[in-house]
Structure 1
């Protein structure tokens, strides 16, 4: 079984309007929410073996906050331009490149691609909020074989949520 946690980057800052979109850092709220969500995942024993992130600054900073919380688990860490504003198809292609020795993958990136991917995999979601996480189990031993037909809901949580859904 493979487990995928789709993590939207935390709230980004608009304080520097001359920065390109890819260089925008986390806002104060994002700096607060990213470790909060990582701690919730750790408390529920949702542990990454690998963290894969878009190379956009806000996504990398969000992923790094998770890395700080999960340092004892020593997950692999990879930055890629392939997740920056990627389509669901491109995101899925990148996920499918994950080595099969990895069973729990956390990916960090952006909307609308992440919300569209969640819907493609069979769950109805209008919008994945900033710092939110959405997880799937896949009934397969190979990342190359993940698809909607073998996807099952695992969890959904976001910073303002008072009752996370975890199956």
Structure 2
């Protein structure tokens, strides 16, 4: 079995309109939500063994903050250029390259691709939007990430900062 966590970056700052989109930092709320959501994952008993992230500042910052909560070394985060504002199909390209030794993987990325890919993964649930710092989790019935796309999947949970913990 393989567990995939799709995590959208935390809330970013729009204070400086001259900052390039790729370089936008997190705002105060984003810096608060990231560790909170990392803690919620730990309460669910789900902690990734591998973190892959878009290198955009807001996404890499979110990944690093959450990694710290999980005692995951920030130097071990894999940054994939192609995850920056990607289409849903790009996620599959990234996933098929994951080493099969990892059972639980978190991918940090952006909308609209992350919402589109979440909806592609399962027929059990449809969502309109993965909000900032939202986490969409599925489990695939396979031993190989190369077979992830064809594997039967089940929805695990969808959580985000403004949702009540259940």
TM-score (norm: length of structure 2):
0.94
**1:6-155 to 2 correspondences below 5 Å:** 6-71=6-71, 76-122=76-122, 123-147=125-149, 150-155=152-157
Gaps in structure 2 of 5+ consecutive residues: none
Q: Partner residue of 2:161? A: 159
In 2, Cα distance between equivalents of 1:63 and 1:147: 24
List structure 1 runs of 4+ shifted beyond 6 angstroms.
Answer: none
- How far did 1:126 drift? 0.6
- How far did 1:74 drift? 5.2
CA RMSD of aligned residues (A): 1.4
In 2, Cα distance between equivalents of 1:148 and 1:106: 19
- How far did 1:163 drift? 3.1
TM-score (norm: length of structure 1):
0.93
- How far did 1:157 drift? 0.5
In 2, Cα distance between equivalents of 1:154 and 1:80: 25
